[in-house]
Structure 1
């Protein structure tokens, strides 16, 4: 999927732009294969790599050797699968607050908010970015795996730390502006997200407008046909500005079945974006494809222009 240059004022655009992103690149071989197949079929235009993932090196090698592969860093601080675990890439006692007694990341974002120190968060996410750079990845953006940096569980977020690193590496961050309108946020969290969105704006960090992330698990009675209808309705509902659809594609393998009971939903999401009906719908709806690389490049041009203006 070739992207189109993002307009200058991406949040005021009446045009509909879409990023199609495959999540959890590097988590396991079955997901890597699915994501690589989708790239080869020109069915996605973005992915997010988990640097602590057991198969991150394979994903990084693929990204480095294929110019059309746009990869953001999926900053990972949780390990929620029961029997398939990972821990920090930092080898230091400074990040002890991020791990369990077994040495793995905490299971849920709520545990991160309860236990993690700001110093440990900053150290580990910096290490993940530096590891990606060392492996030859040119990241398009930063993002938070399972929302552990957003403060949605206990109201303790780490976004200003992430924004520091966004500024340092001149990268956008995946925080949809429309999050402030979501019913799952209480008034206090809406105010917090509004403050963080304004902070990103002042720092020159670009955000997207909206996010489509279908349920991780199969819902009651859901099969491929029902999931396809839901995906098509979601695409039809894309509004003005930039929206991202996030999928979790995987092949149906013994590995995937052993890792998660939700393997079927991941296989369905893989097959959905191999489906020509989905591609035709994007054309029928006159939705223009863009990418995180386009947003990153727009942000860097803006920052360069601002610097020239102040000289």
Structure 2
């Protein structure tokens, strides 16, 4: 049993999984694939990139699904760009968008401007009608440096939202205890996190990941998108997104894997309810 499964009212050895679709809003193909995964597939949550070009369309198609905010300070693609909604000077690179790499963003971002930008992204999601379920960060940019993690944690406390959290391995590498810091502030996060692999033998790796799930809540992160000329034009890794779409929408073997492993699918709203119960407004 983990503390979180106990607070969720699950069985002591329960294995729960949140299947989250990252990058909602990045393109029409991603919007279509993500909403299909949420409405008819296995996905239980998603996260929207508010600064991305197709975020407004994603908002127009929203029907109350479990959606969080994918806090964004990077624009990593070569042929496809987005930038800060606050137009903050330190958050631009020389090419008219957010920096392409996390390291470049860390080196140049003014912390006050970053904080205002990230708060504005959450506020815009709320303004557009999203019932925001959680926060996570694009490219993991807000977890590996203490000064950026402070912003991430402060926003989670301010908006009373759970967060995605990297595991103890990263915690040891970066040298500060971000998991315990979040727990001390009453911020809830999944016990474990798994990204769907996209290399040779990935099917076997997915099967191993499902069957080796530990008791507790695990977040499984995917990036589904429809296979379209738009997707192939902007993302050299387009096939990974198409594979993820197939996995969570059409792959009956994956569905059977989850059933045989007695996995309970939940969304981030369940974690939000636990946090807000113990963290009253």
TM-score, reference length from structure 1: 0.83
**Matches of 1:160 and 1:109, distance apart in 2:** 16
Quick one: distance in 1 between partners of 2:181 and 2:146? 16
Q: Give, in whole Å, the separation in 2 of the partners of 1:146 and 1:278.
A: 26
CA RMSD of aligned residues (A): 2.1
Q: Shift of residue 181 of structure 1?
A: 2.9
**Distance (whole Å) between structure 1 residues aligned to residue 94 and residue 11 of structure 2:** 48
1:229 maps to which residue? 204
Of the three residues 162, 172, 184, the one matched with 1:202 is: 184
Other structure's SS at 1:48 match: strand
Q: Hey, what does 1:263 align to over in structure 2?
A: 238
Kindly state the Cα deviation for residue 298 of structure 1 after the two structures are TM-superposed. Answer: 1.0
Which residue of the partner structure matches residue 168 of structure 2?
A: 180
Quote the residue 1:125 is aligned against.
118
Deviation at 1:227, TM superposition (A): 3.0
Query: Following the alignment from structure 2 to structure 1, what is the Cα–Cα distance between the partners of residues 264 and 53?
Result: 34
Change in Cα spacing, 1:10 to 1:238, as seen in structure 2 (3 Å) is: farther
- Is the radius of gyration larger for structure 1 or structure 2? 1
- Say yes or no: does 1:84 pair with 2:77: no
What residue number does 1:171 align with?
161
Aligned with residue 97 of structure 2, among 94, 104, 109:
104
Q: What SS is found at the alignment partner of 1:158?
A: helix
Task: Check if 1:282 corresponds to 2:258.
Answer: yes
Query: Which of these residues, 148, 152, 161, is aligned with residue 162 of structure 1?
Result: 152
Residue 295 of structure 1 pairs with residue 268 of structure 2: no
Whether the aligned pair in 2 keeps the contact of 1:6 and 1:294 (CA below 8 Å) is no
Residues in 1 aligned to 2:10 and 2:79: alpha-carbon distance in whole angstroms:
41
- Conservation of the 8 A alpha-carbon contact between 1:75 and 1:142: yes
Matched residue of 1:8: which SS? helix
Q: CA-to-partner distance for each residue in 1:170-196, whole Å, 9 max, x for gaps?
A: 1011114xx2235x953xx1x31x2x2
Partner Cα separation in structure 1 for residue 10 and residue 164 of structure 2: 14
Aligned to 2:47: 48
Deviation (angstroms), 1:57: 1.0
Using the alignment, how far apart are the partners of 1:10 and 1:172 within structure 2? 17
> Partner residue of 2:33?
34
Displacement of 1:249: 0.9
Aligned length: 277
Q: Which runs of 5+ in 1 are unaligned?
A: none
In 2, Cα distance between the equivalents of 1:198 and 1:6? 17
2: CA distance between counterparts of 1:207 and 1:290?
13
Task: Provide the rounded CA distance (Å) in 1 between the counterparts of 2:5 and 2:116.
Answer: 32
Q: Secondary structure at the match of 2:132?
A: coil
For residues 83-120 of structure 1, give each alpha carbon's deviation from its aligned partner in whole angstroms, at most 9, with x where no partner exists.
100001114xxx21111133310001111111112101
Tell me, in whole angstroms, the C-alpha distance in 2 between the residues paired with 1:289 and 1:9: 13
